[in-house]
Structure 1
Amino acid sequence: MAANTKAKDRRVAFATIAGTTIEYYDFFIYAQAAGMVFSTLMFEPLGSEFGMMLSLATIGISFLFRPLGAFLAGHWGDRFGRRAVLVATLIGMGVCTTLIGLLPTYAQIGIAAPIALLVLRLIQGLCAGGEWGGAALMAVEHAAPHKRGLAGTYPQMGVSLGMLLATGVFALMTGVISPGDAFLEWGWRVPFILSFVLVLLGHFIRRSVDETPIYQDIAERKQQTKAPVAVLFKKHWALIVAAAVLFAGTNASGYIATGGFVTAYTTNPDGPIAFDRTTAMLCISSAAGVWFLTTLISGIVSDYFGRRNTYLFGYLWLIVFAFPMFALVNTAEPLKVAAGLSLFAVGLG
């Protein structure tokens, strides 16, 4: 019996981490491409500065739709089960990512190109919102009470692994392809099209996991609520608002330090740093590795010292090391840039 339980725990952990890794690989390759190529390929008439601003804004716009995705996934997850929703969000994200990799550019179809890009990014936001919360639910609801902190880290470990995979693939593409026309013509598309293969793998892995015991119990007792979101807000609105505001700060910090902003800032040929793309990707990858390790450690620590104390420590770390991180990035020395981003990533984890 104990062996079966351990095998089930490993299967749930693997499925949660693998699915979230694939989902956030899709999410992060968009952020990397927004910092490197979309300003040129999709927003060319606006010029380099305004094109870059709008390109990076499309990263942020998706966050407006993530809460809606989370609500919809939570609503459907309470009615139809966690696994079905997670499979749907994974497929939705993968299809959108693959289509972005196949999109014509502004030079080819005009304004239809950035409009299509924006629509696909908004759907990505919906899917990502549903993915993370659903994966956390699946992991925690399968876990024993004394291991829920560790189990809750599984989806977040997948986020940092997705970042590692995304930056690694882009580093490979920028390293083997000349930085000129070839990368802009087709090289940037390869990481997006690769998503189709990853999603098929993730779908197979997710299908192998049983529905969570808590949902099975709810279904057996026929206690599914017709409007779970309405009931949730009626009874727990203050907790929802507090959690959302707190998590917004963490998310914003994460995407500044490891997402499109740092990519654009460090690879701008007219900027103060002007790294080549491969160097920038390697610096971000080092931070993603630290993010992964400290996420795992934080889950273990939270099972002993509490979620609130662990979270407050992480927030304090972000506040203390925000300015040193930017100071190290501005040295324009690769090792110091990597160190600054990695130092900040400890608090993110």
Structure 2
Amino acid sequence: MKTVEPSPRPTPDDAGPESTDPTRLRLVVASALLGTTIEWYDFFLYATAASLVFNKLFFPDSSSYVGTMLSLATFAVGFVVRPIGGVVFGHIGDKIGRKRTLAVTMLLMGTATALMAVLPTAAQVGVAAPILLLVLRVVQGFALGGEWAGAVLMSVEHGPRGRTGLFGSIPQIGLALGLGLGTAVFATLQTVFDTADFLAYGWRIAFGVSVILVIVGFVVRLVVDDTPSFRAAERTVATVRAPIAALFADRHLRRQTFFGLLSRWAEGAAFNTWGVFAITYATGTLAMDNVSVLWSVTIATAVMAVVIPFSGLMADRISPKWIFISGVAAYGVAVYPVFALFSTGDIVWFTIGLVIVFGLVHGWFYGAQGTLYALVYPTEVRYTGISFIYNFAGVYASGLTPLILTALIHSGSGKPWGAAGYLVATAVISVVGSAFLTPARPDEALTWVDDDVLLARPHAGESVTAGVGVPRS
């Protein structure tokens, strides 16, 4: 396959407008942070409800174990659909831009979540209730398939020189805030309402809040310009007809995609263990108080939100790849000790364990992940590429994890050690996969605002050959 002959990089003497305009950067930060917070709030609010509400209201005739498994299965469906959304929105995002694609994903996600707030239960409409729940979960998964990649690219591709890692970490903070907000809202509602009222209507308030959040986030996203890298690619690179096909037609991109899928395994498994499964395990197997467990998760996500931007700063100083690898390795080491803390059944030790492995360790490697994957692909297939890695890996790494862990602990008579062994294995796989990734340097892969302005004024003798690919380090 032919490769791009990039336009000459501007020299200091050619300097155009600086890329650090405060107003522009504030809008980028607000769009990335608010948008991903809302999307993840919507998506993982379902996860919390699956553990505490949906198993009772939508699968009430099943045993506790079977009802929980069925409820978590509908949670997993969202991850199964995400690859389809990733391919569709990745194609659109690489063709028409990041900005408009993200507006569509937010509207879809917000609509599905708002409809869950008024969804009838099995007691009201019978078997139609879980079917409707499943349909809305499919819409959520489809929308989120295009959200994460677009948000990361809006941030990374807008980031100033030398701050690519920091800006790439901003959408990642939204994941911590979204999950933390969801668990905090559920904990508050369970405190305000008694059990009967909470199950009758209290839980619906958490989903209804999404309407307000989506309106605010949608407006913010509309005022942000598309990224300099995308605008430059539109002018200097012939459009790739089918970005998803390009990932597999080019040997280098095919290799990057394969190792990217492996590298994602630990992160997906870890997040859904500590942010989703831990709630079910603590409140079910360990019989811990629902509200206390939710506040523990909220505290851990607050710590994560602080660690993530620090991880981004360190990614700029070291490299996103090695920050990610070091964090995944630390996660593998911490799994058994943390489950030992969980097994005490004490909320204090449970919270300490969660803060260590979820707040500190997960925040460390998750902060670097978005920038790492963005630098793996050239601009013209970047949206599709990182969507493919994140969402296809999400099927086995994320969506199935609560089911796998629940089954392993059930077969182990309530003991967590088999589940812990599975998680350690995911860490080993991801360290190996990450080691073989070869991301480009930011100055090779990205275009900044001043470069973008100069590229709008063609240089004499400049020529660009259509195709995909950029020089690699």
Fold in common (TM above 0.5)? yes
Instruction: Tell me the alpha carbon deviations over residues 216-274 of structure 1, each in whole angstroms, 9 at most, x when there is no partner.
Output: 22334573322111112322112112112211321111111012x22222223xx3233
- Does the alignment pair 1:163 with 2:179? yes
| 2:257 is equivalent to residue 240 of structure 1 | yes
SS at match of 1:247: helix
* Cα separation, 1, equivalents of 2:95 and 2:170: 24
Structure 1 residue 103 displacement after superposition? 0.7
Query: Is 1:122 equivalent to 2:138 in the alignment?
Result: yes
Matching residue's letter, 2:38: I
**Structure with larger RCO (C-alpha < 8 A, sep 6+):** 2
1:183-262 alignment, distance < 5 Å: 183-221=198-236, 223-235=238-250, 236-259=253-276, 261-262=277-278
Deviation at 1:64, TM superposition (A): 1.6
Aligned: 1:327 with 2:343: no
Question: d(CA) in 2 for partners of 1:296 and 1:273?
Answer: 35
| Structure-2 separation of matches of 1:217 and 1:308 | 26
Give 1:45 shift.
2.0
Q: Which amino acid aligns with 1:200?
A: I
Answer whether contact 1:273 1:330 (CA < 8 A) is retained. Answer: no
1:4/1:242 CA distance change after superposition, 3 Å: closer
- Separation (CA, whole Å) in 1 of partners of 2:59 and 2:248: 40
Contact 1:100 1:117 in 2 (8 A): yes
Match status 1:33 vs 2:46: no
Alignment of 1:1-349 (within 5 A): 5-178=21-194, 180-221=195-236, 223-235=238-250, 236-259=253-276, 261-268=277-284, 271-275=285-289, 277-345=290-358, 346-349=360-363
Give deviations 1:86-142, integer Å, cap 9, x for gaps: 111111101011111111011111111111111211221121121111100111111
After superposition, give the CA deviation of every residue in 1:143-188 in whole Å (9 maximum; x if it has no partner): 124211111101111100101111111111011111x210100011
Question: Are the counterparts in 2 of residues 16 and 154 from structure 1 also a CA contact under 8 Å?
Answer: yes
On the 8 A contact 1:168/1:282 being kept in 2, the answer is: yes
Q: What SS does structure 1 have at the residue aligned with 2:328? A: helix
Partners of 2:339 and 2:152 in 1: CA distance: 31
The alignment-based identity, stated in percent, is 36
TM-score when normalising by structure 1: 0.95
Task: Show the counterpart of 2:374.
Answer: none
Is contact 2:60–2:122 with CA below 8 Å preserved after alignment? yes
Secondary structure (helix, strand or coil) at the match of 1:144 reads coil
Between stretches 221-230 and 71-80, larger displacement belongs to 221-230
Greater helix content: 1
Deviation beyond 4 Å, 4+ runs, structure 1: 1-4
Unaligned residue ranges in structure 1 (runs of 5+): none
| RMSD, aligned CA | 1.5
**Length, aligned pairs only:** 344
Say which SS state the counterpart of residue 288 (structure 2) adopts.
coil
Say if 1:67 and 1:23 are closer, same or farther in 2 by CA, change over 3 A.
same
Aligned amino acid, residue 327 of structure 2: G
State the TM-score, normalized to the length of structure 2: 0.70
Return 5+ residue gaps in structure 2 as ranges: 1-16, 364-473
Determine the C-alpha separation between the residues in 2 that align with 1:321 and 1:25: 27
Task: Give a deviation string over 1:272-297, Cα, whole Å, max 9, x none.
Answer: 2331x221110001111122122111
Larger radius of gyration: 2
Q: Is the 8 A contact 1:258 1:287 kept in 2?
A: no
Q: Answer whether contact 1:258 1:341 (CA < 8 A) is retained.
A: no
**C-alpha distance in 1 between matches for 2:341 and 2:126:** 40
Q: Deviations over 1:293-321 (max 9, x none)?
A: 22111111111111111011111111011
The one-letter code matched in structure 2 to 1:214 is S
Q: Is this contact kept in 1: 2:19–2:160, CA < 8 A?
A: no
Looking at structure 2, the residues matched to 168 and 148 of structure 1 have their Cα atoms a distance apart, in angstroms, of: 31
Cα distance change of structure 1 residues 139 and 183 upon mapping to structure 2, 3 Å threshold? same
Residue identity matched to 2:43: F
